[in-house]
A and B are shown apart, each in its own frame.
Chain A
Amino acid sequence: MQLSDPNVNLAIILPEIIIAITGVVVMLYDCFFPKNRGITGTMSLIGIAAAAISIALIWPGGSVPASAWGGMIVHDSLRLSFSVVFLLVAALTILVSTVWVEREDVPGGEYHALLLFATFGMLLMSSGNDLVVIFLGLETLSIATYVMAGLRKSDLKSNESAMKYFILGSLASAFLLYGMALVYGATGTMNITEIAAKAADPNFPALLLVGAAMLVVGFGFKVAAAPFHVWTPDVYEGAPSPITGFMAAGPKAAAFASFLRIFVIGFPVVGGLEAAGYLNYSWTTALAVMAIATMTVGNVAAIMQNNVKRMLAYSSIAHAGYALVGFVGAGVAASQSNRDAAIAAVAFYMLSYAVANIGSFAIITLLGQKNDRRTEFEDFNGIGFKSPVLSFTLSLFMLSLLGLPLTAGFIGKVLVFRPALEANNPLLTVMVVAAVINTAISAYYYLRMIVVMFFKERATDWVEPRIPSALAAVILVTVIGTFYFGIFGNRVIERFSRQPIAEAVSQR
């Protein structure tokens, strides 16, 4: 093997660098001046803002190559659009958790540092074009999230949540790693672009199929797709509310970013070659079936929940299913532009979901009180007109999650359904119809939230909590986001698909 120029380029990983440095600084600062939550929080926010600015600077039009670091890091719309989602999620989570960090007296510095490391991992997962880089990102993310889930040390549920998340997450990582090893064994490379070239070979080894199957299992765990979803409700219910919101929006989107990159780019549609086409055909079929199962399981189970956090956990499973619909659409897309549009659609879907989801968890954090005690549906009875701002906002988020027009969720759904219908394939059409029927099922439990808040009477006293300014900012951003993406989604999608996804660009 000959040595090649690693084409070092710091600009391309500027956002990652900024976030990592901020994380280290926050951690060190916390060692010397502990319990300065305000300052560590502000520092984290500044770091995230700087990373966001750096992304804006290297956005298409800037002088950044399409790939660098020996092809390990790529700069395309898949990376850019998902990075926007991660940074938004991280910033909002920090704002939401100000309430919770104070109320529960959680060590603020550690928490902020962990969140930044998790964000670093997510960014790496979307920019990595190499199985090892992706795995590194994933592990950085996972380890940070395991700890965050268990931050409320004195609470049994939080401990249970962290433990379950850790054990099952490690199992998933093991599957993933094994899958990566097999893919490497079959293709002799870790670079996704090169894997795609190898997979186009009509005589690819069957080992590749086994590796791909392992990867499906591993990522299936990470995105909580049925039948690998069973850990989700317990973990989401037990983890502190702001972290739950983060886990459902951030790490899930990150897993989708890598999942998309490895499968859609790495195992592409190969025209005319039956043996190679088999790989693409197998995984799209498997994922289509998983998408149907995920949506159905998530929605049906969500109906039966009495706890709002558990309901949202199952709803997040269902939303992974809807995103998978767009994912499969990207997998079978006939042309590169269609494929890029489908990937942008999934990114937009995760963005719209993140906005509504973090907004909901912000309100639930506020209303849940210490230790998230008040998170049963009954606890929300009749608060509608006692706290109109919070209740109408929460209703808006529910309607966006349901996918009602004029909200972000609607545009997101239309966008992910589109590529799947475009394929003109019976199984995919069935999948879209299943998604639509599931949307109707989901109306029941999203509406239930509105029903309890507005239509039921409250028997006990209830005092409207004061809305802290940080939370007010979150609510403002998420409400504006929900409407903006729902009405002017056009502009976002246009930006999300500006840089063609590098498939043939191999720098070696």
Chain B
Amino acid sequence: MVGAACAYYAARSGLHVTVIDRGPVAGGTTGAGEGNLLVSDKEPGPELDLALLSTRLWRTLSGALPPRIEYEAKGGLVVASGEAGMAALRDFAERQERAGVKTEEVTGDRLHDLEPHLAQGLAGGFHYPQDAQVQPALAAAHLLRAAGEQASGRARLRLRLGEKVTGVLKGANGEVRGVRTVSGDLHAPYVVNAAGTWGAEVARLADVHLPVLPRRGFVLVTEPLPRVVRRKVYAADYVADVASGSAALQTSAVVEGTPAGPVLIGASRERVGFDRTLSVEVLRRLAAQATRLFPMLADVRAIRTYAGFRPYLPDHLPAIGPDPRVPGLLHACGHEGAGIGLAPATGLIVAGILTGEELPLDIDPFRPDRFGGAR
């Protein structure tokens, strides 16, 4: 998705763009996510600024792309089971408000007006009207199609799928001259590393260190249902899990309906490398936590599950912008579980750098060389 957004905004700026993907469109992390466009789970800071910009851009994109991308400005609801949790949420929301997030406190007795199937006895929650959702695989595909369609006149967009990048070509002064793929060399003055969870590998091909690591997550999918969950609903401890740096398994219920009918249940996080082995323990915990939030789910059947690898960087911020170690190399990866949401702002920034336009926000916190290491 991040790569598609880079291509979209670069092509819109009149640049010639070639998208190279070793797999199909959305064959990596994009197709394995839930398509969250969230501000609610973000602390005030550079990532939230990126998310707020992206929220506006997604709204514009939703008008330009076909309805099939299933963009839903559904809003998010974060719930707390007790007063202590509620106090923490209140403090968090207050700080987010100051950063430009819209929040609305919902008392325990009003929760069921928003979500009739929620469990009884919850202390309350916060409603975030800016949270939204897309179907990520369709959104990425249609964004690429739109990038090609608007690349009229001078600009041109080429899509090369199923083609693995095997090297980064460099000139005499170490500057980027293009990439080598399994089918040959492709010359270009700029190369954008938008390889998501595999961003560390592409960085290594350019002899630079970027410690993107996989953070595994499972999603549990129910049988098709009518709309039983209106918003994205999650428990307050989700925010702490997202921000954690631990490699150990963490699960916190995130429940949402989809236009197609199934309810999606997340979210687990663990750093176990690229291990795709199904974990029944994770699924059991996800199901138990979701059922505590929505007891009616106990009578609903889960029909499948899927797993993906979030591109994790140790400080939970993406790498966006030029790499000072290799002129011509840019990075746009490491967005962890927020890549779908943060993609448009990332693409806009990358296009802005390539064309020398003024950037919409300070990208210093995202500098790709901040982890040091080789060169």
* Same complex origin of A and B: no
> Which residues of B come within 8 Å of A, CB atoms?
none
